[in-house]
Amino acid sequence: MNTILNELLRGLDPDQILTDEPMREHTTMRVGGPADLFLSPASPDQVLFILDTCARHQVPVAVVGNGSNLIVRDKGIRGAVLHLGQAFSAIEELPGCRLQAQSGASLSRLAQEALKSGLSGLEFASGIPGSVGGGVAMNAGAYGGELKDVLETATVLKDGKIITMTCGELEAGHRTTRVLREGGIVLSAVFRLESGDPDAIRSRMDDLNARRRDKQPLQYASSGSTFKRPAGHFAGALIEGCGLKGFRVGGASVSVKHAGFVINDRDATAGDVLSLIREIQERVLRETGVSLETEVRVLGEA
């Protein structure tokens, strides 16, 4: 470990390198054991440096954003976590009603910057808890809007090269893109928006966020919507129909407010959360014949 730490210090500041860092501090579900290395680059060059250094030392690397769609298992992550967060979150206004954002910027902050600039199109994203990088990779969306609707290009690190992909080249679908399917790291993205009235934009954002507060268990730790929407159904309705609202495994439960959310309301472990997810999937499949696929990403050792 000392060898790779010394080498990492040649390209990173000491405060960009943490060891044995508890991942529960970096996931919105608030579960997860420690990562051996937790690295926070501030530029694309530092991302490349980290990946190259870890590859030469045969240290595996997991890339994470703000952890809103992530469950880390209780024994944590062996190897390195490359964290694209606050240090990698610049947002810049470009000509032609466009915004450029690094992948660590939160979608809610991006929506607020659009509001400040009088730009419409990102109102739906104002309450999504994810980051730009993860949101672009999975084509995040809510209330009838998706990032592909406003995405112009994404800068992606793939196979050791930094390339620019158009929205069409990303082949975005429901909660998926080529980046998610084929691998790669979204470094930044450009969004093409429309000029709008700030009061109308703010009103739309306020309305959507009020609807979220009314329908979603935002007061509890969670990973957001746990399951993808199955064709012809709504996951929450299927789960509720199976009588699973309030069903619990350890410190994790199915939200009584919205059955599509698994919440950490009693100091859950990752094991509790994952066991509950499996129980939900098994019960729904047995009683309805519908297979629920998770939206959340799972990393680490059990």
Annotated active-site residue 301? The verdict is: no
Residue tagged active-site, from 106, 188, 225, 253: 225
Q: In Å, how far from its chain's centre is CA 276?
A: 21
175, 188, 222, 255: which is the annotated catalytic residue? 175
Contact 68, 131 (CB under 8 A): yes
Beta bridge partner(s), residue 151: 191
The Cα 99–Cα 15 span in angstroms is 29
DSSP letter for each residue of 187-205: EEEEEE-EE--HHHHHHHH
Q: What is the dihedral of CA 129, 133, 136, 140, to 10 degrees?
A: -10
282 is catalytic: no
| 225 has catalytic annotation | yes
Q: Are 51 and 8 in contact (CB under 8 A)?
A: no
Angle value at C-alpha 25, between 262 and 222, nearest 5 degrees: 15
How far is the first Cα of the chain from the last one, in angstroms, to the nearest whole number?
Answer: 22
Which positions are catalytic? Answer: 175, 225, 295
